[in-house]
A and B are shown apart, each in its own frame.
Chain A
């Protein structure tokens, strides 16, 4: 950068430090990746002896072992089922609610809205045990089904805040014209609001996709020890064993769990970044 040497020393030091810090952090992000990707092709001995070297042979054996040992294919299927189910349910609940809240003019609407907004403050994790009791009471303990019911509840505050603010931007005249034409409330929602809210819906979907797919503690407790029900995040740590973890297999399994998210991120990079940023902004 073309800067003069007249600037105070402190400032030059400042810009050098922030740049250095930035690239050190970037290295700290990349090195673990590099390490775990090469490790997933190595044996324990190779990993321990030369952690940063490329693998001698590109052997996919670790992947096969990881997949069969932790039943990862089934786990991916469970995760996909849980995630999609929870996403659909979230939209089914959040869309009509946001629609109603965006249109409502009275006090009740404001109260309901602030109830959802306060949800950001609820440490749902601390209430893990009562949630577990609830699952037992509903007879849905040790099943994916309860996770599908629960995840949308955790996502409702953020989803509703985002969608409501989106729907507020829609001029009332548009809707009134439609209802003059005889459209019912649900038709107005479906045919006027939904098409305009597509970017908001995409934001909510991406945001929730990440948090549902990556959820760990809830599924761990709620699906319990049943390997037929567990999600990928619950299955992965089972590759770590107290004595003699096979790190190559563990890293191969980790890489395997990241593929779907990475795929979605690469395809939808721009939208995803925007979703993450605007999601947290509201929070």
Chain B
């Protein structure tokens, strides 16, 4: 209790003062009104909540460029968005990214976590490696994959001797979106696995042992015991990765493909970026932002429904 003695040393009363019974010293407003939280609250309101509110407002403005004075547009932006093919292909790309990418990520992460918590040989090395993607910035990850996926890069260098024709993975419309999703999987699986493993670690080893004696194998233990126990936690991790895919794919796309070729890798969040900063169609951009926000909420609700605790 050095802290306490420090305080006592600086004060005039004796350090031996015993803790007084709680109720007597209730001091008032200070206890009920968290005044010291005010600076953080204001900061948060100005830099985070403010911009989100502004985003919603701008979604209803007609604002075709920074230097133009904005006017009120009502639902016109949304009408334009819904009539635009680019928007629908962005919806399609984001849907593929999430409907295909997310389940693959979570199932693989779960299996990986299950494997790691069994403490097989080399599990320490594995745990160390799984963290790598969590440490690396999006630009660094993207640059490494940009080098590997270029026509003369590692992937084609490995495939050609095996008799496959390589392709320009990021420039070929049929592979570009897959490549972007693969990069996201690469960085997401390990991190999710580490998180899920931290939950699986707390599963009672004795129950597992008992199940093994009763003849249950790994596959059954993984899906029959660990999965149901960790289900709601996996739900939390799934939400985390869902939001990160939906909202942050813009940076990976910007760094790797700029949405191309054509619109084959334009995701919703990249569309928000491109409309705002490349085409300066601000009303349109923020209208998509609002839609993205709503989709995020809907998706979170859906994930909660599917993966809530059942036991």
Contacts and interface: CB of A to CB of B under 8 A. Distances in A.
Interface residues of A, number: 124
A257 interface: yes
B163 interface: no
B194 A273 contact: yes
Contact of A276 (B194, B216, B297): B194
Interface in A94-148: 94, 96-97, 99-101, 103-109, 112, 115-116, 119, 121-131, 133-134
A187 B40 CA distance: 19
Contact of A25 (B36, B153, B190): B190
Interface in B1-55: 2-4, 6-8, 10-13, 15, 17-20, 22, 25, 27, 30-37, 39-41, 43-44, 46-52, 54-55
Contacts of B306: none
Given A100-B36, A216-B251, A22 B112 contact: yes
Given A21-B111, A130-B51, A257 B22 contact: no
B44 A100 contact: no
Contacts of B13: 180-182
Interface in B112-158: 112, 114-116, 120, 125-140, 142-148, 150, 152-154, 157-158
A29 B135 CA distance: 12
Nearest to B42: A93
A236 interface: yes
B140 A129 contact: no
Nearest to B49: A122
A14 B118 CA distance: 13
A174 B17 CA distance: 11
B3 A153 contact: no
Interface stretch (B72-80, B93-101, B270-278): B270-278
B19 A173 contact: yes
Interface in A44-97: 44, 47-48, 50-52, 93-94, 96-97
Given A191-B7, A216-B251, A236 B143 contact: yes
A21 B43 CA distance: 45
A121 B133 contact: no
Contact of A213 (B116, B134, B137): B137
Given A156-B43, A173-B22, A32 B145 contact: yes
A126 B293 contact: yes
The 6 nearest A-B residue pairs measured at CB:
A11-B217, A14-B219, A106-B32, A153-B47, A173-B19, A214-B137
Nearest to B55: A127
A14 B47 contact: no
A229 B13 CA distance: 53
A213 B137 CA distance: 8
Given A14-B217, A262-B135, A127 B140 contact: no
Size bracket of the B interface: 35 or more
Interface in A237-280: 237, 239-240, 245, 247, 250-251, 253-254, 257-258, 261-262, 265, 269, 272-273, 276-277, 280
A227 interface: no
Given A22-B126, A191-B10, 11 more contacts: A52-B158, A96-B40, A104-B32, A105-B31, A123-B52, A125-B272, A130-B52, A173-B22, A177-B18, A179-B25, A187-B7
Interface in B151-181: 152-154, 157-158
A257 B137 contact: yes
Nearest to B53: A130
A15 B118 CA distance: 10
Contacts of A109: 32-34, 37
Contact of B34 (A7, A15, A33, A104): A104
A51 B158 contact: yes
A94 B44 CA distance: 11
Interface of A: 1, 6-8, 10-15, 17-19, 21-23, 25-26, 28-33, 35-36, 39, 44, 47-48, 50-52, 93-94, 96-97, 99-101, 103-109, 112, 115-116, 119, 121-131, 133-134, 149-150, 152-154, 156-157, 160, 172-174, 176-183, 185, 187-189, 191-192, 194-196, 210, 213-217, 221, 233-234, 236-237, 239-240, 245, 247, 250-251, 253-254, 257-258, 261-262, 265, 269, 272-273, 276-277, 280-281, 283
A122 B43 contact: no
Interface in B179-236: 186, 189-191, 194-195, 198, 215-220, 222, 236
Contacts of B246: 123
A195 B300 CA distance: 38
B286 interface: yes
Contacts of A26: 125-126, 129
12 contacts: A14-B222, A18-B114, A22-B112, A101-B34, A105-B32, A112-B34, A126-B272, A172-B22, A177-B19, A179-B25, A258-B140, A276-B134
B309 interface: no
Given A29-B190, A32-B144, A97-B41, A192 B3 contact: yes
Contacts of B282: 129
B241 to A, nearest CB: 10
A176 B20 contact: yes
B143 A261 contact: no
